Amino acid sequence: MSSPIRLGTRRSALAQAQSGHVAAALEKVVGRPVVLVPITSEGDTNRASLSEIGGQGIFATRLREALLAGECDFLVHSLKDLPTAVPEGLVIAATPVREDARDVAITRGGTPLHELRAGSTVGTGSPRRIAQVRRRAPHSTVVDLRGNVDSRLARVASGELDAVILAAAGLSRLGTDSPLHREELGLSEWPTAPGQGALAVETTTDAPAELREALAVLDDAPTRLAITLERAILEGLDAGCQAPMAAHAVVEGDEIRVRTVVYAADGGRRIGLDVTEPLNEGYIQRNGSGNDADAADGADPIQAVRSLGLAVARRLLEQGAAELVPREQS
C-alpha cells in the first residue's frame, strides 16, 4: 500500500508545476508518495503554429497512450488543451478548484493593449487571442508565438516584441516574478478558452477503486459544472480546442452564467451570447430540443449543464457561427 502512485505529465515547467500541485494534494489524501512521470507530447516537439495543429489533441494524445499502456496511473492536463471527446477507457476523475481564468497582456512599460502605438508587435499563437488582439489593438501586428513562458517574457524584455498574451493561471502556478508589467484582461470583454485556468485529472475506467475515490476528493463541484458547460458549447460547435471562440462560465449561488463569443479570424466579426440559468431542470423544458439523450431527465446537474451548453451552441450556429469556426478534425 506504500508504493508510489505514478502521475503522467508533460515535460514543460508549467505542466510539471501544475502536476506537482495535484501530486501534493493527493499525497495528503492517500498518505502515499506520488511521483511524476515526464512524457514528451507531440505539442512539445512540433513547432508548427497552433492554428495549424492545435485542434488535434497534440498535447494529450501521447500522455493518454502512456496511461492506457500502464506507464502511469493517472494524468494531469491543462483542460483547455483537451479535445471534448474522452477516449474509450478513460475518465476525467477530478477537476480541482480553478485558478484565475483570465488572460494577461505583458508589456515593458505598462501601456494598455488598446493604447499600443501603431505597428506594435503582440505575440500569441492562439487563434482566439489573435482575433481578440485584432479587435482590441487593430493597429498592432500579431506575431505567431510558441515556446515556454520564460522565453515569451524574454522576447518582451529584450524589445523583440512589445507585448505577449499569456494565461494568468500559468503565471500563478509557475510563481513567475517579472519586472514586466501585466494588464489583466477582464472576462466580460475578453472571455477565454473553454476550460482555461482549470486542470483535468484523468485515469482509466478500470483504475483501482481506491485511486478513483482518492482522486474524487480533489474534485471541485462548481469548477466541474462550469467547465462542463463551456466544453459542451465547444462540442456543439464541432470546433477544435484552438478554434477562435471563447466560453467562460461561473456558478453564482443557485444559477450558472456563461459568456461565449465566436470570432472571425481577422477579428472583424463576432457572435456572442450571455446566458444565465438556474441550476435545476427547468431550463430543459425551455431550451432543450427534446432530442438529446442527456436531457432526458434533469436530475443530474452535470448532464443538465451539458444540455444547456449544446443548446447555447445551437443558438450560436443559428446566428451564423458556422461561418466563423473551423470544424474539428479527428
Identify the pLDDT of residue 166.
97
Pull the grid cell for residue 241. 480546442
* Range of the structural domain that residue 297 is part of: 221-330
Give the pTM: 0.87
Identify the pLDDT of residue 299.
61
Identify the pLDDT of residue 81.
86
Same domain, 88 and 138: no
Identify the pLDDT of residue 298.
46
Annotated catalytic residue 300: no
Same domain, 177 and 247: no
Taking the C-alpha atoms of residue 298 and residue 286, their distance in angstroms, rounded to an integer, is 12
**pLDDT string in tens for the chain (330-residue length):** 478 999 999 989 999 999 999 999 999 999 999 999 999 865 555 445 555 544 456 678 999 999 999 999 999 999 998 988 899 999 999 999 999 999 999 999 999 999 999 999 999 999 999 999 999 999 999 999 988 899 999 999 999 999 999 999 999 999 877 899 999 999 999 999 999 999 999 999 999 999 999 999 999 999 999 999 999 999 999 876 667 999 999 999 999 999 999 999 888 899 999 999 998 744 433 443 333 444 444 468 999 999 999 999 999 999 999 888 766 543
Domain-located, residue 111: yes
Q: Counting Cβ atoms within 10 Å, is residue 200 exposed (0-12), middle (13-18) or buried (19+)?
A: buried
Count of beta carbons in the 10 Å neighbourhood of residue 142: 18
Residue type, 237: L
Identify the pLDDT of residue 43.
53
CATH code of residue 169: 3.40.190.10
Q: Are 255 and 184 in contact (CB under 8 A)?
A: no
Pull the grid cell for residue 41. 507530447
Identify the pLDDT of residue 39.
94
Same domain, 327 and 225: yes
Same domain, 300 and 238: yes
| Total number of domains in the chain | 3
Domain-located, residue 190: no
Q: Give the active site residue among 81, 100, 103, 162.
A: 81
Per-position DSSP letters for 238-293, written without gaps between them: TB-TTSSEEEEEEEETTEEEEEEEEE-TTSS-EEEEEEEEESSTHHHHHH--S--G
Pull the grid cell for residue 104. 494577461
Identify the pLDDT of residue 282.
43
Domain-located, residue 62: yes
Last residue of a domain, one of 185, 206, 237: 185
